[in-house]
Amino acid sequence: MTSTSYHIVPNCLKEPIILYQDPYLLLVNKPEFLLSVPGRALENKDCLITRLQRIFPHATIVHRLDLDTSGIMVIPLVTKVHSDISRQFQERNIQKEYIAEVFGIVSADSGSIDLPIAKDWPNRPKQKIDHDHGKTSLTHWRVLQRDLKQNKTRLLLMPHTGRTHQLRIHLSEIGHPILGCDMYAHAEALERSPRLLLHATSLQLTHPITQKKLSGFCPPEF
């Protein structure tokens, strides 16, 4: 298959911002419309990790954010640190929080979405809710602000699991798709924003070297 068979992502003019740096790892703010890792198409080689490796040649990727999602990521600079952070992700010891703007007014002040997710093979890369074969997927949420005039709600999202497109599909399933979501939102919600209004705002982990809690925060631009 040639590279022209793949979707070509738009050129991202924004640069990642380094929020924290030490000899072992970085915390960075990835802009929207920048891939975390290179895509398959030759035209999609520009990404967060290749940009960072120009300055930090040993930087590696241990987790990802979607192309459309902005926000905080941890970038290991040492092999030992990569392995330790990978283990923390696998054991769900890393706390992540996101902010999203969703369509409609969410009536409850907080809640949880517990719906299993599986790959939607005929419609790749989309995912789907599958109660028979899906993997357990849990998202906690809390209302930050309701905008009655704009018919939207600002949510704090705290995913317990990290399935592909989990936040997007969970919110769509409860009738409140994320504004600007080109995969799971209906036309009205999609047209409300030129970008996906989803941002990874905070991340907390145990520093593999110092064993102290390391917390990073970056507010969304929306």
β-bridge partners, 72: 29
Number of residues that this document lists for the chain: 222
Q: Which of 22, 46, 66, 109 is catalytic?
A: 66
- Rounded to a whole number of angstroms, the distance between the first and last alpha carbons of the chain is 38
What whole-number distance in Å separates Cα of residue 64 and Cα of residue 66? 7
What whole-number distance in Å separates Cα of residue 176 and Cα of residue 189? 9
Alpha helices in the chain (DSSP H): 48-53, 79-90, 166-173, 187-190
**68 is a catalytic site residue:** no
What whole-number distance in Å separates Cα of residue 14 and Cα of residue 32? 8
Active site residues: 66
